[in-house]
Chains A and B, each alone.
Chain A
């Protein structure tokens, strides 16, 4: 398990996390290379199906980054994201993958360091949890699939 490098998908709102990621880069902050960032126009675009499919396609962990509560560019997108993440967590629990492999965080565009910190925190969480149950059984199949994406 020591050399387990989790695959983590971070769905990032364009207005906060995506810029925060840029800022983290400009500040030369180190954060784990396990994170694959996907830009969204708003965290309100979060779709339960897409979150689930991320796991299906080999993710060990997934998180959604939205603006601070009350600061959504589209007013309520981040609140909607929060509820959908909650629903997807329940489904993951039911399936037995575990809702703790999915999380929602809030930050602002100015929080470059926080972006790096979340990446470290979450990577550490997934590292402790180990590979997704899906990846344990189908390590070879999924690694091929994941390799194709890279």
Chain B
């Protein structure tokens, strides 16, 4: 899922300083699962914003809505009845995708309440880790199911570099060296010989470097 994290309250408040009435819009997708932008967090943010503005002597009216997903026009449309003339801004607690979908659909000032961090998973309740670099061409079959693109600080395809020590990355003693993990796994699987193959430079045009990407599936299109 997409992992996000709330922006500092004061920062969000600063983005809507001029507004008197805002829609605070949560998302029922990834950010609900990673406890950053679901119904609960939407309620907390709205309450905190109101409190802050009340303290400043500039009361704020909030309307809370949590959409099933903000990255899907079908659900984004459902916000329409709340987007009244007196709404000055929309605060989105979705990832960057949701923020943009709201901005594309509604002629209002839309601001993000979260920082979108990475594609990852829950390693324990309250702890999320990055796992996928969204590079557009998966090579996990070459590395024992451990991604060097995103889990190695230098995205090395022929690792590990000289900074790997005691299983940790030189960048942060808390971070496991992805290439140590790959080595251990390949050894356990009896496939160390695969690591002797020189991996050629990656085709980054399949990644963000090729410009904004698009996936089209003709078989499922309706029009």
CA distance A56 to B54 in the complex (A): 8
Q: Which of A1-57 contact B (CB under 8 A)?
A: 47-49, 52-53, 55-56
Contact A97 B43 (CB under 8 A): no
Contact A95 B48 (CB under 8 A): yes
Quick one: CB contact mask for B32-71 with A, threshold 8 Å, 1 for yes? Answer: 0000000010011001101110110100000000000000
Interface size class of A (residues with CB under 8 A): 10 to 19
Tell whether A133 is near chain B: CB-to-CB under 8 Å.
Answer: yes
User: B47 to chain A: which residues have CB within 8 Å?
Assistant: 49, 52-53, 56
Q: Which partner residue on chain A sits nearest B42 by CB separation?
A: A49
Contact A95 B44 (CB under 8 A): no
Tell whether A91 is near chain B: CB-to-CB under 8 Å.
Answer: yes
- Dominant secondary structure at the B interface: helix
Contact A49 B9 (CB under 8 A): no
Contact B52 A95 (CB under 8 A): yes
Chain B interface residue count, CB cutoff 8 Å, equals: 14
CA distance A129 to B55 in the complex (A): 16
Contact A133 B10 (CB under 8 A): no
CA distance A137 to B8 in the complex (A): 25
Tell whether A96 is near chain B: CB-to-CB under 8 Å.
Answer: yes
Of B8, B43, B55, the residue contacting A96 (CB under 8 A) is B55
Contact B48 A52 (CB under 8 A): yes
Tell whether A74 is near chain B: CB-to-CB under 8 Å.
Answer: no
User: A138 to chain B: which residues have CB within 8 Å?
Assistant: 54
- Give chain B nearest CB distance to A59 CB in angstroms: 11
Chain B residues within 8 Å of A, Cβ to Cβ: 8-10, 40, 43-44, 47-48, 50-52, 54-55, 57
Chain A residues within 8 Å of B, Cβ to Cβ: 47-49, 52-53, 55-56, 91, 94-97, 133-134, 137-138
User: What are 11 pairs between A and B in contact, CB < 8 Å?
Assistant: A47-B40, A52-B44, A52-B48, A56-B47, A56-B50, A56-B51, A91-B48, A94-B52, A96-B52, A134-B51, A137-B55
